[in-house]
A and B are shown apart, each in its own frame.
Chain A
Amino acid sequence: MKHLIGLFSIIAIVLTISCNQGTEPKNENASATSDEAAVTAGGQENVKDSDSQKDVVKVAMSSKDHTILVAALKQAGLVTSLSNAGPFTVFAPTNEAFNKLPDGTVDGLMKDDKKEDLQNILQYHVFMSALKPESFSDGQTLGMVNGDNVTVSVKDGKTMLNNSVTIIASIPASNGMIYVTDGVLLPPVKK
């Protein structure tokens, strides 16, 4: 497709150069050449829409407790995917939760050569389908987006993940549900 556009613009430029008689007014909207035709970086997160309910990314972005998560989603290149139609269940560790990790873990993951590890961890926080709070049940297994499982336990009205991370709040979003967690879920170590 890019080749095609390129070809078109070459033809257009050649024709313009060779035949432009300088008398025709340009169409401002449609005069764009190939460089402008290049697709704007990113996807649905760029849609200008202040009328719709916020999606999971926009909800996270508006939370002062999730700045590390948002930065990590950006670094991992997951903003576009999570701005999609979903439906998603996103476990959203707070800044405090990230800060509980050993010193230097987050900074290390934010390095470009660790992008895959970061993606793996973040995708371990996303489940396809918008789970309602009442959808969680004790002993339930959730197959996460990265391919690993999370085990749910529900005891005394408290929902825990992998017996280590607790859900402390739920926020509905346009394309799914966000569950704020007090810890970061770490995928099982690959053998």
Chain B
Amino acid sequence: MRKILFSALSITAIIILLNISGCKPKNAGDSISGDAASKVFVPPGKYDELYNFVSGGFSGQVSVYGIPSGRLLRVIPVFSVDPENGWGYSEETKPMLNTSHGEIPWDDQHHLDLSQTNGEIDGRWLFANANNTPRIARIDLKTFRTAEIIEIPNSAGNHSSPFITENTEYVIAGTRFSIPLDNQNGDVPIDSYKKNFKGTISFLSVAPNDGNMKLAFQLLLPGMDFDLSHSGKGPSTGWFFFSCYNSEQAHTLLEVNASKRDKDFILAVNWKKAEEYIKAGKGKKQIVKYAHNKYDEATHTATSVMETETTVIDVKDFPDIVYMIPCPKSPHGCDVDPTGEYIVGSGKLAALIPVFSFDKIKQAIAAKTFDGDYEGIPVIKYEAALYGEVKKPGLGPLHTEFDGKGNAYTTFFISSEIVKWNIKDLKVIDRQPTYYSPGHLMIPGGDTKKPYGKYLIAYNKITKDRYLPTGPELAQAAQLFDISGDKMKLLSDYPSIGEPHYAQAVAAELISKNSLKIFKLEDNKHPYVTMGEKNSKVVREGNKVHVYMTAIRSHFSPDNIEGVKLGDEVYFHLTNLEQDWDVPHGFAVKGNNNAELLVMPGETQTLKWIPEKVGMYPIYCTDFCSALHQEMQGYVRVSAKDSNVPISFSLGKNSDALDSVLTK
């Protein structure tokens, strides 16, 4: 290994030398071209060309990068608590992380999809999935905040999600794990998989005006694993395609037992048909339990509602909804090209990439060119659906995106490369190494009707020697390629947050023009808002102490509070009175078993504190808000339970002694 590396290094060195001395025409071994720096350099003060939204994997969050610079713009808290800004710690945001299992501080965030209109990105919302405790989040791209999270019943390992239909009619979510349904007894032997375990695909409708999601219906399917999915478009409008593995229905050592069959399946779902059956009342109601959490921008407060019903269609009773297409060896990616005609399955263990034709699928269905059925679902003959195969493309194909110019790009995990191939003639055009072992790749708009075929980003799982070592745990890497020419050119790579899986990107203007600067104070409908310093106060209600507090450069009002006693629950309702872009105020209390608040201009957020010892508790602003930020501080006095210190509060009153010094 070392020898190979060494020789690879020396080859690279020679190539670099050749490049510098002679500028020889570039070849495939040329990993970085001379003008790469100018292509990713965005001068200070200039904006990037694209927003890039990247899933955080085990971080549970979504990160936002500028492309081509690779500059990290923001990390949006979604499924994981974020003490940095109080997400999941403030009273207002806690309900966002509520589930039927209670409040959960973490999840595994794999895939993202931007909302679309007519198959093109419209820049309104970003959808994100939670893999572990199945949920879908909607992020509002005006505020870059999580606006809604809905839990999915009858699901486990919400992996083939959150992919959307062409007009964002639905967000689709398929199960990785099949399980006994929620309304059935789950206390059954694991080896009763074939009998008791089912997979589901959920359709969440999205309200066109405000984006609010609703669990519209669920399709009940045989037990197996659904991996990835994508919407049809153009000729395949109304259809959705899923990759499935473990058609062996193994429940143990899947590494071996789910790789036995020569082929698994692509599942083709006629969702328009399913929608018709639902409208005709053919679905069956089921009692289930799932949380539906919404953040109200007017009250700056989230609410969590426990929903209790779902509508299910068992596809074996409706054989014209779902068809299966054999696909070699445990497919991962299931990607539809911009024209909507070609469906590409990427079998992790396959030595080829099958490309299916929607036209042929339709003909096969009409002519019933079936090869039996799989638990009641018609299986279309492989050859009848197949447009062709990309032969010997590489090892371990995972995911394919498109440039809108007739080319497809597939990641190969095992052979650590990206391969560019032509959709029509299925010939390989170019291959470039990645460093190392890519999972997903992303072309801006690469899963829409209109890709922005200038860049490609590979999300690499293994970085080993790519950056300065940081001990055993290393950041993963995003690797940016220029794909505007015939050959892909590596431009740069940079570390990423968590473990990126799928990502999205869009021309910056579509998002930046709508970006909110401040919350208008006059529109603040928070029940504990303090409209101006004069209204700040401290109110005792039994053992609850409500502090109606304001922040403005550079003080809190009030900043001296007395009369809090042991046994009290103190709620600091902090309203940021600023109406100025980029002037948040932070708030923290010494010894609080809680996080801090970071409150945006015009917003109100609440921090709970249960003091546990008598004493003096400093409070201060944690965000360097102004030149006098360090002066933005105060005290809360905590007295014994039986103390008779009354509630009092003040701002700006010094002791007499000090006042006399000041006026001298």
Contacts and interface: CB of A to CB of B under 8 A. Distances in A.
B628 A12 contact: no
Contact of A20 (B35, B37, B484, B601): B35
Interface stretch (B207-215, B231-239, B496-504, B573-581): B573-581
Interface residues of A, number: 44
A30 B554 contact: no
B655 interface: no
Interface in A139-190: 139-141, 174-176
Given A86-B553, A141-B662, A135 B579 contact: no
A55 B663 contact: no
A135 B552 CA distance: 15
Contact of A36 (B33, B40, B43, B552): B43
A29 interface: yes
Contacts of A129: 554, 628, 631
Contact of A51 (B33, B48, B581, B662): B581
B471 interface: no
B277 interface: no
Interface string B545-581: 0000000111000000000000000000000001111
B35 A15 contact: yes
Interface string B10-44: 00000000010001010000000111011111111
Interface string A114-132: 0000000000000011100
Contacts of B518: 51-52
Contacts of A174: 578-580, 583
Contacts of B485: 23-25
Given A19-B34, A27-B39, A86 B579 contact: no
Contacts of A137: 663
Contacts of A71: none
Contacts of A33: 38
Nearest to A55: B580
Contact of B37 (A8, A24, A40): A8
B544 interface: no
Contact of A135 (B43, B48, B652): B652
B468 interface: no
B563 to A, nearest CB: 25
B401 interface: no
B553 A15 contact: no
Interface in A74-109: 84-87
B553 A24 contact: no
A30 B38 contact: yes
Interface string A31-70: 1110011011000000101011101000000000000000
Contacts of B663: 137, 139-141
A30 B579 contact: no
Interface string B611-643: 000000000000001111001000000000000
Interface residues of B, number: 46
Nearest to B659: A137
Contact of B627 (A8, A27, A39, A128): A128
Contacts of B45: 39-40
Contacts of A55: 580
Given A12-B37, A30-B42, A130 B484 contact: no
B580 A37 contact: no
A176 B42 CA distance: 34
B59 interface: no
B47 interface: yes
B49 interface: yes
B69 A30 contact: yes
A117 B216 CA distance: 72
B517 A37 contact: no
B48 A85 contact: no
A29 B42 contact: yes
B86 interface: no
Interface in A1-37: 8, 11-12, 15-16, 18-21, 23-25, 27-33, 36-37
6 contacts: A12-B41, A49-B581, A52-B601, A128-B628, A141-B662, A175-B580
* In the complex, the 8 A-B pairs of residues with the closest C-beta atoms, listed nearest first: A37-B43, A174-B580, A87-B553, A53-B579, A19-B34, A51-B517, A19-B23, A85-B626
Interface of A: 8, 11-12, 15-16, 18-21, 23-25, 27-33, 36-37, 39-40, 47, 49, 51-53, 55, 84-87, 128-130, 135, 137, 139-141, 174-176
Given A12-B41, A29-B48, 15 more contacts: A15-B37, A19-B19, A24-B33, A25-B484, A27-B39, A27-B49, A36-B43, A37-B44, A53-B579, A85-B553, A87-B628, A130-B553, A140-B663, A174-B578, A174-B579
